[in-house]
Amino acid sequence: MNYAKIVGGSLKGRAFLLPETLGARPTKSIARESIFDSLQGEIAGFAFLEAFAGSGSVGLEAISRGADLAIFIERDRQVFKVLEQNIAALKIANAKLFFGDAFALIASATDYLKSIDKKAWFYFDPPFSIRDGFADVYEKTQNAIAALSPKVTAGAIVEHSSAASLADRLGSLTLAKRRKFGKTTLSYYLLER
């Protein structure tokens, strides 16, 4: 079993399981730290939705940093079980899990946010490698972000291959900044003010 640790906040230093599947690529701690350093006080009072959740490392970090709720979407059954174990082990009561394809379930997740009158930060970490019908994963990710309702959206972050080119504007969201970590880049999209 491989483990990682929460980087900061109330759960700092607590370990969580990493999936042992070939497709899983957990967000590195340096990228997680960068995300939440960038968001700082912007996370409290909001929900945090992690699509392609895997172990839930980023959503768990969001809870640790003060998010009101974490929503996770994961389609791999084995990985989903690891996610459930992590939430149970860390005693996360304010989590909502969706099992299935992120692109198919994002509308259900946003409907849920509307039903509880909560805005969320949306985090997309699609697979880097082109496999299992993921050839158009970045196009689908950009379309999903463009379709997000401003009523439930605080902003969106995409972790993607540095070789991939994402649009500067997606629906009501505009690229605010990019942070590169070697082969990985984080792109931040915010509502126009």
pLDDT of residue 78 exceeding 80: yes
Res 33: pLDDT: 87
| Residue range 128-172, pLDDT digits in tens | 655 455 568 899 999 999 999 999 999 999 999 888 889 999 999
Which pLDDT score is estimated for 28?
A: 73
Point out which residues pair with 157 in neighbouring strands.
123, 188
Q: Using CA atoms, how far apart are residues 96 and 72, in angstroms rounded to an integer?
A: 6
Nearest Cα to 122, choosing from 182, 183, 62?
62
Q: What is the rounded distance in angstroms from the CA atom of residue 152 to the CA atom of residue 49?
A: 11
Q: Give the total number of structural domains in the chain.
A: 1
What per-residue confidence (pLDDT) applies to 19?
87
Rounded CA-CA distance 2/19 in Å is: 8
Residue type for 76, please? D
Q: How confident is the model at residue 25 (pLDDT cuts 50, 70, 90)?
A: low
Average pLDDT, the chain: 91
Contact present, 117 and 150 (Cβ < 8 Å)? no
Region 33-51: mean pLDDT is 92
Q: What's the CATH code of the domain at 109? A: 3.40.50.150
Higher-pLDDT residue of 181 and 128 is 181
Distance CA 168, CA 177 (A): 10
Q: State how far the Cα of 84 lies from the Cα of 63, in Å rounded to an integer.
A: 15
Whole-number pLDDT of residue 23: 53
Among candidate residues 147, 151, 160, 149, the one with its CA nearest the CA of residue 188: 160
pLDDT score of 173 more than 60: yes
pLDDT bin (cut points 50, 70, 90) of residue 122 is: very high
Q: How many other CB atoms are found less than 10 A from the CB of residue 13? A: 9
Q: What is the per-residue pLDDT for 128? A: 65
Residue 123 has pLDDT above 90, yes or no: yes
pLDDT (mean) for 27-46: 86
pLDDT, position 32? 86
Q: What percent of the chain has pLDDT over 90?
A: 75
Question: What pLDDT was estimated at residue 47?
Answer: 98
Q: Give the sheet arrangement for strand 184-191, strand by strand.
A: 95-99, 69-74, 47-51, 120-124, 153-161, 184-191, 173-181, 169-170
Do 23 and 96 touch, CB atoms closer than 8 A?
Answer: no
- pLDDT class for 17, splitting at 50, 70, 90? very high
Q: Which domain holds residue 94?
A: 2-191
